[in-house]
Amino acid sequence: MTSDFSGKHVVVTGGTGALGTAVVAQLLGAGATCTVPYVHEAEAQRFPYGRKPSVKLIAVSDLADESAVAKVYAGLKPWASVQIAGGFAMGKVADTGKAALMAQIETNLLSCFLCCRAAANAMQGTGGRIVNVAARPALEWRAGAGMTAYTISKTGVAALTVALAEEIAKDGILVNAVAPSIMDTAANRAAMPKADHASWPKIEDVAATIVFLASSDNRVTRGAIVPVYGKA
């Protein structure tokens, strides 16, 4: 089943990355218009949909900055907001200082919080969908050993998702998240050449789950952190 996004506007943070590009492609194919904020100019230059009239690219300095987020959502009445933007860092607790911890919290949790807040305010009176991206260690904390700051930040995204879903369900806004394991991307294959790549979830499949949760076909699911692990 292909969801229909005709006449619907969707904000996709991190939309110029690997997963984001797959999400935007599926949204455009379903008739959506998309606002895609980006931080890195090189990613924007590589983004294959930047010249489409149904896509608006917005350069932002930092999605953990309130003024930058306000710029993205200014004047919009989005049907959905998908928060993919974030970052990853390895590091044991013994080797992680305050700056490294706060960098992960700001990149993953604070940016997601600010975009969720802006989206929820923009959707008041019309309803909509919010979809966040957590991670497998957000559900399986032991899997976060050796990447503790990242695990803390993504666990926060999961908790934010569930709490916000409860807060705004009566406004007709359904909030959910996906929790991917290591996804099958060129960068991950290069970083782990000996891994079982066939077991990793494909980005197109993860994107399809996100697009369903962001669609009007999703009528009842809220407060879910959906595992998208593939065979891993």
Asked if residue 135 is part of any domain, the answer here is yes
Average pLDDT over residues 149-169: 98
Average pLDDT over residues 71-79: 97
Average pLDDT over residues 170-188: 93
pLDDT (tens digit, 9 = 90+) per residue, 112-127? 999 999 999 999 999 9
Percent of residues, the chain, with pLDDT higher than 70: 99
Name the nearest CA neighbour of 130 among 200, 222, 22: 222
Is pLDDT at 1 greater than 70 in this prediction? no
Asked if residue 48 is part of any domain, the answer here is yes
Average pLDDT over residues 163-186: 95
Q: Residue 70 maps to which CATH number?
A: 3.40.50.720
Query: What does the pLDDT read at residue 183?
Result: 84
Estimate the crossing angle of helix 111-122 against helix 148-168, to 10 degrees: 10
Task: Indicate the average pLDDT of the chain.
Answer: 96
| Residues carrying an active site annotation | 150
Query: What does the pLDDT read at residue 191?
Result: 87
The domain total for the chain is: 1
Question: Residue 125 is part of which domain span?
Answer: 9-228
Asked if residue 153 is part of any domain, the answer here is yes
Average pLDDT over residues 61-74: 96
pTM score, whole prediction: 0.96
SS in 3 state form for 160-214? HHHHHHHHHHHHCEEEEEEEECCCECHHHHHHCCCCCHHHCCEHHHHHHHHHHHC
Average pLDDT over residues 21-33: 98
Average pLDDT over residues 155-167: 98
Asked if residue 175 is part of any domain, the answer here is yes
For residue 10, the one-letter residue type is: V
SS in 3 state form for 125-150? CCCEEEEEECCHHHHCHHHHCCEHHH
For residue 184, list its beta bridge partners: 202
Query: What does the pLDDT read at residue 206?
Result: 97
Average pLDDT over residues 33-61: 96
Contact 157, 138 (CB under 8 A): yes
Asked if residue 188 is part of any domain, the answer here is yes
Average pLDDT over residues 33-59: 96
Q: Which residue has the tokens 């991950």?
A: 188
